[in-house]
Amino acid sequence: MKVRVGAAATVALASLTAVACSLQAGQQASVAPDPPETALVSDPEAEVRYVDPGYAAFGDQHLTTVGVRRLTESQYRNTIADVFGPDITINARFEPERREDGLQAIGNVRLSVSTTGLEQYFSVARSIADQVMADERRERIIGCQPASVDDRACAESFIKSRGMHLFSRPLTDGEIDARLAIWSEGAQQKGDFHEGLKLALVSLLVDPEFLFRKEYAEADPADPDAHRMSGYTKAARLSFMLWDTAPDAELLEAAQSGAIHSSEGLAGQVDRLLASDRLEQGARAFFTDMLHFDKYETLTKDPGTYPKFSQAVADSSREETLRFLVDHLIAQDRDYRDIFTSRDTILNRSLAAVYQIPYPSTEDWARYTFPEDSDRSGVLTQVSFLSLFSHPASSSPTVRGVKLHEIFMCLPTPEPPADVDFSKVQALENGTVRERLDHMTNPGCNTCHAISDPAGLSLEHFDGLGQTRRLENGQPIDVSAKIGDLEFSGAPGLGQYLRGSPLVTSCIVRNVHYYGAGRPFDYKDAAYLAEKGEAFASGGYRMTELYRSILTDPDFYQVIIPDGAGPDDGDAQALSDKPATTGAGQ
Amino acid sequence: MRRTLRQVSCAAALALGGAGVAHAEWSRTYVVEWYEAAMYYGADEGVIDPGTDCPAGTNGEPDWTKVMLEAGYSAQETRWLLDPTHPFRPEGHSTSGQNQMAFRGKDRANVYSQPWLAPDPVLTGVSGSIGEGFDLDGDPDNGFTSPDGSMSGIDNQFYRTLGCWLTYRGPHRQSQHALSKNDEMREGAWTVAIVVSGEGDDPLNDDNVRIGFYNSEDALVKDGNGDIARDYTFVIAPDQRFEAIFDARTVNGVIETTRPADEVWLREASYVRELQLLEAQVRLEMKPDGTLSGHVGGYRPWFDIYKGWIDARGAVIEKLTWIELPGVYYALERNADFSPDGAGGEKTHISFAMRLDAAPAFVMTPGAAELATEVVSYKSIAPPPGKRHRAIPGPLGDRVVDGIVLTKDGVLLGGPEAEIPPPEAESQIASLRE
């Protein structure tokens, strides 16, 4: 059995590696569309090569891969929990994701899997399979009671049903046959039905069709010269966008029936997903990405300077902001712009100590409203933003200003020149940081810092952990700021400035769109984004309406056929220069 | 230190929807982060060096061979018992603790439970004249002089008796016992919150002050340096026993009791975490850095001290802390200096003081209803003792009987009639070595 299992694993590994290699080139479409007879085919030249399985199970439909992104860690975990149950534990360290154009969701289209990452995926797959096939779970999860060690119908039922949820589409006959072959050999050699199924499940879990979200275009039945996004791809987009997990049975059914291609069908699914409690999961994933919370992986503070900092405080601060945003924007459906001015938050005992306030509850988390004179004003004055975008032993008006513009206004700042002398600003024992920042008067630096620093300086009443202060080295801290012709003071002034900035609202529109679409900003989308921005405003800047507006718009599902790909190269070439907007309801 | 009442009530009103009610003029709130017996250390450095307190240094390890031979064990039996690979020890205690060491009294009686059946080894106590604590008996001519020379007549017979014992001796916050037992508190074993409130305008000099010690179920939290983090919130959990309130005054920021409390129950960082104090007093300084530090003292039951040590596994304690526990019994009995029944009564109590350090914290009234801004009793709303009050078990709970650790099955390995070496010793030893 070892030989056969090793062979199966090798084939799966090779196919994954091949996809990874093709993705490293940054291609959005990479594999041939023709459905093969078998899913995994050896290549005598390169030993193995990956062949797109296509959708042989669905007739003659020709599909073209138009997008690939690696599953994020949360998507992986959520999908496993949905498919096999929340009691499946996943002890793994996932490979880092890549941020591009402000979002990991965009950078992930360029992610590959390293050898180490591949080993990790295999290790996790084996662990998951062991748990799924454990005595206490397998009957519930498999869904049938094997009559014998070679009960093919039961094995096939499991592979089809769970495979469909893992791949976000039905498995092809080839994919099913491959897993059945693995199951059969394993079961026979071990004399155990479930041992064989365990191997088949591992094979599914390390398949690129699961580890990567592949998006497909198909010929548009309404227009033979055009393409549209496949129904299953639409379903996956909706689900991963709003729930951060693979599509549920109802979405898959809408894809299978084609209902998702109609305006009504699509709107119905969007409404259903938006109304679900699981929207919180999707919103948390979105803001985790947008707010650069991956930086928590490397967040450290000097214990001498900030003794209250701990892993518990770090974890709590991340949770505080996510709870606040979900509560404000989803549960209460309030104005997005208020996240910069609200004095409300949801905190715990650890954070209360950092904020130097009594924790008014015996529960783990409690709502709290900061006093008016607290200087606290929305998400920018929460510990998460203030500590993430500071140095280990000091605050940083520049870093805060740069990140504020990048995250909330979609205005990235160029990297600083290599020859910057930081010695003056790093002399923390001298005066206030405003006095130590000399680049505001340096013409070479001023271009960028005149934009970033005023906003950051207005947050200087909060130290590098986010604790309130009024003095630095015994000197009163000046939190006045001037951006353009606008003068304001402190965090509340900054909050009001951001609340009124059209860049802030256009940025969230842009982020939501590209987070879901998984591609970088394109100036050709400007008019579309402007239209969405207007709708966002007219809807009272409600996130749920923004989601609805984008996700029910056919433009969100436009496909771009890459060069040289597709069933008809001529059409693909023609479509590669301009989006082939077909989409829902057309 | 948290802040004065007006500041606190403002924050509380905002935080709690205006629920704050205050009667005192000012209040400060803390959480205890360190306890240790007030054992003045008279050496310059280290923890065992000779000093003015103990001119011969910390008491050395007893000659256990001599002890066992004098108890009637043969040389062969003694060698076998003192060999660490030959244990009558329960599971999990293979490196220290030898149950058979208990049976060295008259007719091999258990000297932990019947110390009077062992000879008095005469524990060496403190011979210096400097000590910390309180003049509990009002006699300035009887007792220690404070380290700064400002007080005399300090009654601290606990220190005089046990101050040269390895486990207690050492500089502030460095003795073996304080380090290990405070760590248990710091890991969440128990929490004591403190509220100080006063009626005057100046918190630092106020003749009408009260200080209350309250039980809390909220665990202490360590900061990045391993110290107890400031500014955490602790909710008072009413307890019919663990609540101590003192009438006091402040003089230049130092809280001093104006009238000793007849009887209070406090926590102590020790094997027995319950401390009864009679005629109790406090002297605690509200420091400019926001902390609270000083002493709490009174008369405590001396036999409970001894029992605490034997319940901590007598043989383990003797071996690790270099002590013959019967010596502790005899010395405490000899030096006890207080009878609750009056001058002619049995001296069941001994004068004692402990150092206490507290960090600034927020303290909330029961249920986190509001900030605690006044020292009041919550005993009337405390759950009945039978339901909620419970003694905190020692590390092995009820498996320690008369200072001996039983096996998980409740079997005593060793005993007065034990054959040494035991017949099953070879197989036991073989299994241990596998």
Q: In a mutagenesis test of the B interface, which of A311, A348, A361 is the best target, namely the one with the most B β-carbons within 10 Å?
A: A361
Q: In a mutagenesis test of the B interface, which of A313, A315, A361, A362 is the best target, namely the one with the most B β-carbons within 10 Å?
A: A362
pLDDT grade for A443, boundaries at 50, 70 and 90:
low
What pLDDT was estimated at residue A93? Answer: 85
Q: Around Cβ A458, how many Cβ atoms within 10 Å?
A: 30
The DSSP call for residue A326 is I
Are A208 and A312 within one domain? no
CB contact under 8 Å between A352 and B218, yes or no, is: no
Please identify, among A170, A188, A212, the residue that sits at the C-terminal boundary of a domain.
Answer: A212
What pLDDT was estimated at residue B421? Answer: 77
- Helix (H) or strand (E) holding B281, with range, is strand B274-286
Which residues of chain B make contact with A301, given a CB cutoff of 8 A? 224
In terms of Cα–Cα distance, which of B366, B7, B1, B389 is closest to B194? B1
User: Chain B within 8 Å of A352 (Cβ-Cβ)?
Assistant: yes
Query: What single string gives the DSSP state of each residue in A401-428?
Result: HHHHHHHHH----PPPPTT---TTTT-T
Q: Does position A442 have pLDDT exceeding 90, yes or no?
A: no
Residue A447 is assigned to a structural domain of this protein: yes
Q: Does position A578 have pLDDT exceeding 50, yes or no?
A: no
What pLDDT was estimated at residue B272? Answer: 83
Cis peptide before B383 (omega within 30 of 0): no
* Structural tokens at position A243: 């729930």
Rounded to a whole number, what is the distance in Å from the CA of B28 to chain A's nearest CA?
13
Residue type, A71: L
Which residues of chain A make contact with B223, given a CB cutoff of 8 A? 303, 307-310
Q: Around Cβ B185, how many Cβ atoms within 10 Å?
A: 22
CB contact under 8 Å between B231 and A303, yes or no, is: no
For chain B, give the percent of residues with pLDDT over 70. 86
Q: Around Cβ B362, how many Cβ atoms within 10 Å?
A: 30
- A·B CB contacts under 8 A: 72
CB contact under 8 Å between B233 and A349, yes or no, is: yes
What pLDDT was estimated at residue A55? Answer: 42
CB contact under 8 Å between A368 and B224, yes or no, is: no
Rounded to a whole number, what is the distance in Å from the CA of B14 to chain A's nearest CA?
6
What pLDDT was estimated at residue A78? Answer: 98
CB contact under 8 Å between A349 and B230, yes or no, is: no
Residue A427 is assigned to a structural domain of this protein: yes
User: Which residue of chain A comes nearest to B10, CA vs CA?
Assistant: A371
Query: What single string gives the DSSP state of each residue in A206-269?
Result: TSHHHHEEEEEEEEETTEEEEEEE-HHHHHHHHHHHHTSS---HHHHHHHHHTGGGSHHHHHHH
Residue A519 is assigned to a structural domain of this protein: no
User: Which residue of chain A comes nearest to B16, CA vs CA?
Assistant: A360
Rounded to a whole number, what is the distance in Å from the CA of A330 to chain B's nearest CA?
25
Average pLDDT over residues A490-511: 97
* Structural tokens at position B224: 């990045």
Average pLDDT over residues A270-274: 98
| A473-493 pLDDT per residue, tens | 889 999 999 988 899 999 999
Q: Which long-range contacts (CB under 8 A, 24 or more apart) does B337-344 make?
A: B337/B137, B337/B155, B337/B157, B337/B299, B338/B136, B338/B278, B338/B279, B338/B299, B340/B278
Q: Does position A54 have pLDDT exceeding 70, yes or no?
A: no
Please identify, among A450, A467, A499, the residue that sits at the C-terminal boundary of a domain.
Answer: A499
Query: What single string gives the DSSP state of each residue in A349-415?
Result: HHHHHHHT-----SSSSEEEE--GGG---GGGGSHHHHHHTSBTTB--HHHHHHHHHHHHH----PP
Does residue B323 contact residue B62 with C-beta atoms inside 8 Å? Answer: yes
Average pLDDT over residues B152-160: 98
CB contact under 8 Å between A349 and B232, yes or no, is: yes
Q: Does position A416 have pLDDT exceeding 80, yes or no?
A: no
B positions 132-151 inside 8 Å of A (CB)? none
CB contact under 8 Å between A362 and B12, yes or no, is: no
User: Chain B within 8 Å of A305 (Cβ-Cβ)?
Assistant: no
Q: Considering only A29-43, A423-437, A467-481, B206-220, which range has the smallest mean pLDDT? A: A29-43
Which residues of chain A make contact with B230, given a CB cutoff of 8 A? 308, 353
Residue A557 is assigned to a structural domain of this protein: no
Are A195 and A313 within one domain? no
Q: Does position A47 have pLDDT exceeding 60, yes or no?
A: no
Please identify, among A177, A212, A247, the residue that sits at the C-terminal boundary of a domain.
Answer: A212
Shortest CB distance from B225 goes to which of A303, A360, A362? A303
What pLDDT was estimated at residue A15? Answer: 46
How many domains does chain A divide into?
A: 2
Residue A15: domain span? 2-23+31-212
| B336-381 pLDDT per residue, tens | 999 999 888 999 999 999 999 999 999 999 999 999 999 999 999 9
Residue A119 is assigned to a structural domain of this protein: yes
User: Chain B within 8 Å of A362 (Cβ-Cβ)?
Assistant: yes
CB contact under 8 Å between B233 and A362, yes or no, is: no
Does residue A186 contact residue A147 with C-beta atoms inside 8 Å? Answer: no
Give residues with Cβ within 8 angstroms of B408, minimum separation 6: B90, B91, B399
Q: Does position A419 have pLDDT exceeding 90, yes or no?
A: no
Residue A272 is assigned to a structural domain of this protein: no
What pLDDT was estimated at residue A440? Answer: 60
| A138-152 pLDDT per residue, tens | 999 999 999 999 999
User: Which residue of chain A comes nearest to B227, CA vs CA?
Assistant: A307
CB contact under 8 Å between A307 and B224, yes or no, is: yes
Q: Does position B247 have pLDDT exceeding 90, yes or no?
A: yes
* Structural tokens at position A542: 């409600």
Rounded to a whole number, what is the distance in Å from the CA of B223 to chain A's nearest CA?
5
HSE-CB of B164 using CA atoms within 13 angstroms: 24
What pLDDT was estimated at residue B9? Answer: 35
CB contact under 8 Å between A357 and B371, yes or no, is: no
pLDDT grade for B104, boundaries at 50, 70 and 90:
very high
| A519-553 pLDDT per residue, tens | 888 888 999 999 999 999 999 999 999 999 999 99
Does residue A211 contact residue A71 with C-beta atoms inside 8 Å? Answer: yes
Q: Considering only A88-102, A347-361, A383-397, B49-63, which range has the smallest mean pLDDT? A: A88-102
* Rounded distance between C-alpha atoms, residue B239 and residue B261, angstroms: 18
What pLDDT was estimated at residue B409? Answer: 76
Average pLDDT over residues B310-316: 88
* Rounded distance between C-alpha atoms, residue A308 and residue A301, angstroms: 9
What pLDDT was estimated at residue A560? Answer: 83
* Rounded distance between C-alpha atoms, residue B375 and residue B245, angstroms: 8
Residue type, B409: D
What pLDDT was estimated at residue A95? Answer: 87
User: Chain A within 8 Å of B230 (Cβ-Cβ)?
Assistant: yes
What pLDDT was estimated at residue A441? Answer: 65
User: Chain A within 8 Å of B419 (Cβ-Cβ)?
Assistant: no
Q: Where are the alpha helices (DSSP H) in B176-230?
A: 176-186
- What backbone torsions phi and psi does residue B356 show, to the nearest 5 degrees? -140, 130
The winner for highest mean pLDDT among A344-348, B100-104, B265-269, B380-384 is A344-348
What pLDDT was estimated at residue B313? Answer: 86
Which residues of chain B make contact with A370, given a CB cutoff of 8 A? 14
CB contact under 8 Å between A358 and B233, yes or no, is: yes
Rounded to a whole number, what is the distance in Å from the CA of B306 to chain A's nearest CA?
38
Residue A518 is assigned to a structural domain of this protein: no
Q: Considering only A39-48, B196-205, B211-220, which range has the smallest mean pLDDT? A: A39-48
pLDDT mean across residues, chain B: 88
Q: In a mutagenesis test of the B interface, which of A301, A302, A306, A308 is the best target, namely the one with the most B β-carbons within 10 Å?
A: A308
* Rounded distance between C-alpha atoms, residue A163 and residue B224, angstroms: 47
Whether the ipTM is more than 0.90: the answer is no
Q: Does position B72 have pLDDT exceeding 90, yes or no?
A: yes
CB contact under 8 Å between A360 and B221, yes or no, is: no
Residue A414 is assigned to a structural domain of this protein: yes
User: Chain B within 8 Å of A86 (Cβ-Cβ)?
Assistant: no
Q: Does position A253 have pLDDT exceeding 50, yes or no?
A: yes
Are A316 and A452 within one domain? yes
What pLDDT was estimated at residue B428? Answer: 58
In terms of Cα–Cα distance, which of A21, A103, A110 is closest to A67? A110
CB contact under 8 Å between B232 and A353, yes or no, is: yes
User: Chain B within 8 Å of A347 (Cβ-Cβ)?
Assistant: no
For chain A, give the percent of residues with pLDDT over 90. 69
Which residues of chain A make contact with B367, given a CB cutoff of 8 A? 362
Average pLDDT over residues A155-180: 96
Rounded to a whole number, what is the distance in Å from the CA of A347 to chain B's nearest CA?
12
What pLDDT was estimated at residue B82? Answer: 86
User: Chain B within 8 Å of A303 (Cβ-Cβ)?
Assistant: yes
Average pLDDT over residues A190-215: 96
* Rounded distance between C-alpha atoms, residue B68 and residue A324, angstroms: 69
